[in-house]
Structure 1
Amino acid sequence: MENLAPKQLVIATRESALALWQSQYVLSLIEKSAPETKCTLLKMKTKGDKILDRALNEIGGKALFMKELEIAMEEGKADIAVHSLKDVPYELPKGFSLVVYTKRENPHDAFVSNHYHSLDALPKGAVVGTSSLRRKAQILAYRDDLIIKELRGNVNTRLNKLDNGEYDAIILAAAGLIRLGFEQRIQMLIPFSISLPAVGQGVVVVECLNKDQTLIESLSAINHTESMLCANAERAFNEALEGGCHAPIAAHASFKGDLLQLSTMVASEDGQRLLKMNVKALKDEKPDELGRRAAKKMIARGAREILDNKG
């Protein structure tokens, strides 16, 4: 059988500590699967990394973390790019695909504080930091007496801002904290009943140009099928609702035996209106079909009006 693995592979990555961890992780998977392949990292700073004084939904959304990496692939400077799936818009630029989904890390949101052990322990008026409209909406729905303050920057920057006393607590993805060795900073894994995670949270993906079919086939060896199927259901739900960083939308899919289940959430930014729904796959129903069906059910319950700020 012909060996499809390339001799050399350049991986485009952002320069943050978490992005580098994720890229090194993918690198290790590739080199373990294909020892003859030598991988190198092309470290880049994206527009999303440079503009930290404004909310993502004000400056163009999560695609700002990807554009420079995609240009590097188009110009032949890199072969693939590595992303956190929750930062990947549901619509990719023409000519690009997600070709690898790695095994999902803990998908929960994490409550981090130096003085309080849980959301319930926070006093009235406590300041909570997050850059996510999804987290903001769900936290306010649970505790409308809290003050949500914008928090941008990489994981280390956010933890430093907490340690400097700018916040009483901050909410981060548990996966990022675990991967960077900060698991001890987690005071509480927030239950899904309070805060459903972002679409794709905890999954690292590989993006490349569609035309590189030989490369795509060679990378299939490191794909984690279960994580891919769950992510496909979540992303189909988000796409059907035309969601993005502008919208408080959450979804989490998981298998119970052979049965795929999808938990979903749509809310107003202030958390005053919040819809939740759990949907199970029908017999032979594909993950993307499950996601679209869940979105239709949500729309029937008023999700569109909420997202359009009419509900």
Structure 2
Amino acid sequence: MAALTMAHSSALLRSCGADAPATPGATTIEKRIGAVALRQRRGAHFGEVREGSLFGQSVSLVKPSGVTASRSVKRSVVEATATFDTQTKVALVRIGTRGSPLALAQAYQTRDKLKAAHPELAEEGALEIVIIKTTGDKILSQPLADIGGKGLFTKEIDDALLNGDIDIAVHSMKDVPTYLPEGTILPCNLPREDVRDAFICPNYSSLAELPEGSVVGSASLRRQSQLLHKYPHLKVVNFRGNVQTRLRKLSEGTVQATLLALAGLKRLDMTEHVTTILDTDDMLPAIAQGAIGIACRTGDTKMEEYLSSLNHEDTRLAVACERAFLAKLDGSCRTPIAGLAQRTDDGCSFRGLVATTDGKQVLETSRKGSFFYDDMIALAQDAGQELISRAGPDFFEW
């Protein structure tokens, strides 16, 4: 690996619009600035949120000139940075992700699996994690349905993929729109985590114990509708933010209880906060809940090869089945829809649900069939068509 000289780092700093480091011999800073200057030339905005480490070290980079000083300058760092030779600084795989702790945990899981499966990716600098802020991350005060529904947590990442700023995109599959952006494919689903929801409450052990008028925080219309259907005496309010933010608000008394995906709590190693795990008979999960999907550009055979090697076929088939049900319903974030496909001893078992947001109407259906792709897609579409017929044209909110 070629070391950058102080002269090189000073030049790179100037190209970024920043001052050169004052301390002589700051070799780690030289290396860090080299990576940032490279990102600047690729079109990334200096000061863009990127978290992780450079060369295995935590980094706090120099603020660019022209930016108002503050106590907490945004970090602009990368994880396991570029593979170096004397002329180029390019990572073999740039992994795009949101910046929430849960999204990063999923990106790190992807990184570790790639390293384990492909020796060339285990070398220093072969993998880079690139954090991208999405619309859903920026607007937290409004319900998701009011600011555009699906794609709020994926569009900017997909745009970066299509623009060549990243090589693969790691998504929570429940956030992925029914139809992938043109020019992208999704050849990989990692093994699915627990699909159930968790009830979290400091004072009561179950939803049934909550007193009349208790406030439950949730940003999910799916959870809201099923909860109000069974417990109409409760109140549900919009409750957004990452897992840590919502748990903090709960502890501050903003709400009396909340519901979170158990999968996220497990990935964050935060299951100690769980009061009760809800059975899927009581709270049917979101389409593709607990599944991670990894996308790449259409025609990028190398990335497709890397990702296909990580694919978990049972998860892929179950997710495809659930998404076919969603597509048949033409589902959006404005309509509470839930579905779950599972492998059984006899093949595939599927349950689907559509509801009104107030929980007064909840329509369910179920199907059984073989655990083969074509059969599962047909099964899900048939289930969706049944609910469309039963619901009638005025049922859905668009």
What TM-score bracket applies, with the shorter chain setting the length? over 0.9
2:92 match: 8
Equivalent of 1:290, from 379, 386, 389? 379
2:109 match: 25
- The structure that has the greater radius of gyration is 2
Alignment of 1:115-134 (within 5 A): 115-134=203-222
- 2 CA distance for matches of 1:15 and 1:93? 21
2:12 match: none
- Which range moved further: 200-209 or 186-195? 186-195
Deviations 1:162-189 (A, max 9, x none): 0110011001111001111111111111
- Structure 1 residues 97 and 65, CA, compared in 2 at 3 Å: closer, same or farther? same
2:238 match: 150
1:225 matched to 2:313 = yes
CA root-mean-square deviation: 1.6
Q: Is the 8 A contact 1:241 1:304 kept in 2?
A: no
Deviations 1:164-222 (A, max 9, x none): 10011001111001111111111111122221000000001101111213321232111
Gap runs ≥5 in structure 2: 1-89
Give 1:24 deviation, angstroms: 0.3
Q: Is the 8 A contact 2:161 2:296 kept in 1?
A: yes
- 1 CA distance for matches of 2:392 and 2:314? 28
- 2 CA distance for matches of 1:74 and 1:85? 19
- 1 CA distance for matches of 2:151 and 2:171? 11
**Higher percent of residues as strand:** 1
Percent identity over paired residues: 38
Q: Is the 8 A contact 2:338 2:352 kept in 1?
A: yes
Q: Is the 8 A contact 1:48 1:62 kept in 2?
A: no
The SS at the match of 2:114 is: helix
Q: Is the 8 A contact 1:131 1:150 kept in 2?
A: yes
Q: Is the 8 A contact 1:10 1:42 kept in 2?
A: yes
Amino acid at match of 1:34: H
Q: Give the number of the structure with larger relative contact order, counting CA–CA contacts within 8 Å between residues 6 or more apart.
A: 1
Q: Is the 8 A contact 1:275 1:303 kept in 2?
A: no
Give 1:106 deviation, angstroms: 0.7
Amino acid at match of 2:98: R
1:46 match: 134
1:263 match: 351
Deviations 1:248-295 (A, max 9, x none): 000000011251111111100100000111111259652221211111
Give 1:303 deviation, angstroms: 5.9
Equivalent of 2:396, from 304, 307, 311? 307
Give 1:7 deviation, angstroms: 7.4
- 1 CA distance for matches of 2:257 and 2:363? 25
- 2 CA distance for matches of 1:204 and 1:303? 33
Gap runs ≥5 in structure 1: 1-5
Equivalent of 1:57, from 142, 145, 159? 145
Equivalent of 1:85, from 161, 173, 191? 173
Give 1:150 deviation, angstroms: 0.3
2:66 match: none
1:114 match: 202
Amino acid at match of 1:256: T
**Count of equivalent residues:** 304
1:3 match: none
- Structure 1 residues 275 and 45, CA, compared in 2 at 3 Å: closer, same or farther? same
Deviations 1:41-85 (A, max 9, x none): 001211110100001111111312112111211221100110111
Give 1:245 deviation, angstroms: 1.1
- 1 CA distance for matches of 2:393 and 2:301? 38
